Amino acid sequence: MKLQHFDTIIIGQGLAGTTLAWHLLRRKQSILVLDQENSVTCSKIAAGLITPITGMRLVISWRFRELLQTAEQFYRKIEQKTASRFYHQRGIIRLFSSQAEQDRFTKKLETQEFCDLVQQPISNFNHNLFSSLMGGFEMPAACQLHVSQYLAASRVNFQNRNYYQRADVNMNEDIILTANEVQIPKYGISATRLIFCQGAEDRNNPWFPQLKFKPAQGEILTLEIPESQETRIINHKSWLAPMPESKFAAGSTYEWDQLDSKPTENGKQEIVAKLKKFLRCPFQILDHRAAIRPALQDQKPIIGMHPKFKQVGIMNGLGSKGSLQAPWLAENFANYICEGKPIDSQVDLNQRYPA
């Protein structure tokens, strides 16, 4: 049987696969994106927050300015191409939870890079809706990608151009390597290369056993809050973020042992308890989801082709920062694949995991 040939087959239409697909298309590659179409995936349930300063230690996100600029340009372009709107600049309000955090903030103000990312006092803060006993600060550069909408708009675009197919690829049985290409006879297709973008599924990927994964399950709630018109994200140990159709998302939890997509009562109670510490008005829980974040032990993402089998590659490890990192990573990877430009050493599979 003659197989239909592509430059690149991508397995997975999450944040990683979708974003890589767009970058390869921009470089005129022929591609096919395959996906199982599960209703719940990590990308589909993510809140898509792009946060400049995170964690208890108030750390600036890795290469924030550089990655933000790439992300912004990229998502805006895809919004134009798909005639949709899914990328929003929104401030994040971070409320202090302790004196130690306040002190840390004051100390951090000594560096210009930190100062440039924060604003005090918080503008137009609604004290009737939110309590802020210890004050806080605002991060005006923060953004939000409505991930599910980005994926849906991209999929329609790919489908209309025959670049997308529903498929459930068995990594152990369905993939055949020949001298110059990779074949998936089950679907009648072959390609010069195949890139795995399977999220947490890739921790079982037999082609890349060297990768050291440390995935984290996360739970998230969808809420209705009739009294709130707040368009910014509020963060106080947990976060509350606006979502489409006047809803809100609240989350999220981190769990490293129970790695499945089953929402738990404990997870729900944890989010609700944190929310009640700063949200002063009634809310209703409409939905509750869980998924596994694909993360590597060193918390850095990875891209690259297999050290021995040049026909297979991987993009993974987006962790809890996929919305910010995916465009920059995909651009790096596409530049390598199409133009032979070196991959940034911090994310290069073959430098991080030498054969």
Ligand X SMILES: Cc1cc2nc3c(=O)[nH]c(=O)nc-3n(C[C@H](O)[C@H](O)[C@H](O)COP(=O)(O)OP(=O)(O)OC[C@H]3O[C@@H](n4cnc5c(N)ncnc54)[C@H](O)[C@@H]3O)c2cc1C
Residue 95 or 147: which CB sits closer to ligand X? 147
Nearest CB to ligand X, comparing residues 14 and 52 = 14
- For position 291 contacting ligand X by CB under 6 A, the verdict is yes
Where are the extended beta strands (E) located within 156-301?
Answer: 164-166, 176-177, 182-184, 189-196, 216-224, 233-236, 238-243, 247-251, 284-293
Q: Which is nearer to ligand X, 35 or 138 (CB)?
A: 35
Using rule CB under 6 A, residue 91 touches ligand X: no
Residue 302 as a binder of ligand X (CB under 6 A): the answer is: no
Contact pick of 10, 24, 45, 312 for ligand X (by CB under 6 A): 45
Of the candidates 198, 200, 87, which has an alpha carbon nearest to the alpha carbon of residue 153?
87
Residues 253, 273 contacting (CB under 8 angstroms): no
Determine which residue in the list 30, 36, 132, 148 makes contact with ligand X, applying CB under 6 A: 36
Between 40 and 133, CB nearer to ligand X? 40
Stretch that binds ligand X, among 28-36, 52-60, 100-108, 135-143 (CB under 6 A): 28-36
Helix pair angle (322-339, 15-26), 10° resolution: 40
Name the one range near ligand X by CB under 6 A: 33-41, 60-68, 135-143, 343-351.
33-41
Residue of the chain from 220, 296, 305, 330 that contacts ligand X (CB under 6 A)? 220
Q: How many residues bind ligand X (CB under 6 A)?
A: 42
Binding to ligand X by CB under 6 A, coded x per residue (else -) over 114-153, reads: ----------------------------------------
Contact stretch for ligand X (CB under 6 A) within 114-122, 204-212, 320-328, 342-350: 320-328
Q: Smallest distance from the beta carbon of 301 to ligand X, in angstroms?
A: 9
Relative orientation angle of helices 322-339 and 64-82, to the nearest 10 degrees: 80
**Tokens representing residue 229 in the block:** 């018109």
Please say which residue, 138 or 201, places its beta carbon nearer to ligand X: 201
Q: 22, 33 in Cβ contact below 8 A?
A: no
Of 52, 267, 322, 327, the one binding ligand X (CB under 6 A) is 322
**Is 53 a binder of ligand X (CB under 6 A)?**
no
d(CA 341, CA 63): 20
Provide the H-helix boundaries in 192-341: 265-276, 322-339
Phi-psi region of 199 (alpha: psi -120 to 50; beta: other; left: phi over 0): left
Question: From the list 215, 242, 251, 304, which residue makes contact with ligand X (rule: CB under 6 A)?
Answer: 251
Q: Is the CB of residue 16 less than 8 Å from the CB of residue 315?
A: yes
Helix axes 15-26, 147-160, angle to 10 degrees: 50
When asked if residue 321 is in the footprint of ligand X (CB under 6 A), the reply is: yes
Task: Please say which residue, 191 or 291, places its beta carbon nearer to ligand X.
Answer: 291
Q: What residues between 166 and 195 interact with ligand X by CB under 6 A?
A: 167-169
Is residue 54 involved in binding ligand X (CB under 6 A)?
A: no
Angle between helices 15-26 and 64-82 (to 10 degrees): 70
> Does residue number 320 form part of the binding site for ligand X (CB under 6 A)?
yes
Q: What whole-number distance in Å separates Cα of residue 6 and Cα of residue 317?
A: 26
| Angstrom distances, CA of residue 51 to CA of 89, 131, 141, 189 | 11, 21, 8, 40
Of residues 254 and 309, the one with the C-beta less far from ligand X: 254
Count Cα atoms within 13 angstroms, Cβ side, for 79: 13
Residues interacting with ligand X, by CB under 6 A?
11-17, 34-36, 38, 41-43, 45-49, 167-169, 197-201, 218, 220, 251-252, 291, 293-294, 316, 318-324
